[in-house]
Amino acid sequence: MPHAPSAGRAWAFQGGLLVILLAVVSPVAHWSVVFIWVRSLQDLLLGVVAPALIVLGQPGPALAAALGRPSHGGPVSGVLSRDGSDRARDRPPWWLRWPVAVAVAFNLVWLGWHVPVLYDLAHTNATVRYLEFATYLVAGIWFWLQLFGSARSAPAAPPMRRLQLLVGTVVADTILGMVLVFGSGVLYPAYRGAAHHALSVVADQQVGGGVLWMGMLPPLVIASVALLLRWLDHDDADELSRELDRLTRQPAAGRPTWASSGRGAWLARPGDRRPTI
């Protein structure tokens, strides 16, 4: 019998769809072709926020039930399970087996669309712009699946490896934000126009860089904290703790130890016999 999705997951999935609509068919979409900082907000919504909400919503079982397909078992996601485990019933599917490659691909998509040539082309060509939207969503959903898994399959990488992928993504976004914030030249000439009579294109770029830089931090920091907490409950963390305890409690072979006797102290090594008087 299929498991009904929880209200929280349903709200998360619907929130992701709402964010997509907000980015594509709202005033955000209109002003994104006028101001760079609004387009930066649109990029964040499509590339980070909406994919994260969709993955957290775990729509797989609900969609399978709506299509009349059997749903085998309940969710085993690495995010929402209560026992602190990241174990799936079966081997992770192919789309969850390449966490590093998918993280690299996501960052290439994210950085690539901000290269001036592609950025201006998406500004002037509607087809390219919607291709940009689609690649943001696909790469973003695939990236978040590597971090938190799907409804029935946990990610292949352990929590600490996933945390490293998040840190690398933060570094890449920070570099992009710094280039835009501290740049003094016009990187996106397609945005030159009458709308920038009060806010110059350079100032617009700098604000847009700040939106990308600071706007990506909250969701990635929240995800990092969730993965860190999961790592603390993971078997690897227990094994590491036991290894550290063993190393700190076991003296190294051949290391001199101090012992005292009577008024003086003498240096003894393992196997030495205490001198007698």
Q: What is the pTM of this model?
A: 0.73
pLDDT for residue 2: 46
Nearest to 147 by CA among 174, 170, 165: 165
3-state secondary structure of 256: coil
Alpha-carbon torsion (89, 94, 95, 97), positive or negative: positive
213: enclosing H helix or E strand: helix 201-232
Sequence letter at residue 47: G
Separation CA 160–CA 230 (nearest Å):
9
Do residues 17 and 39 lie in contact, with contact meaning Cβ atoms separated by under 8 Å? no
Residue found under tokens 């995800």: 223
- What is the pLDDT confidence band of residue 158, given thresholds at 50, 70 and 90? confident
18's tokens: 């709402």
The torsion defined by the Cα of 162, 163, 167 and 168, in degrees rounded to 10, comes to -20
| Percent of the chain residues topping a pLDDT of 90 | 45
How does pLDDT run across 42-89, given as a tens digit for each residue?
999 999 999 999 998 887 665 555 555 555 544 444 444 444 444 444
How does pLDDT run across 248-269, given as a tens digit for each residue?
665 555 555 444 444 444 444 5
How does pLDDT run across 182-239, given as a tens digit for each residue?
988 899 999 988 677 768 889 999 999 999 999 999 999 898 888 888 777 765 555 5
Nearest to 177 by CA among 49, 48, 37: 37
pLDDT for residue 85: 44
172's tokens: 């890449």
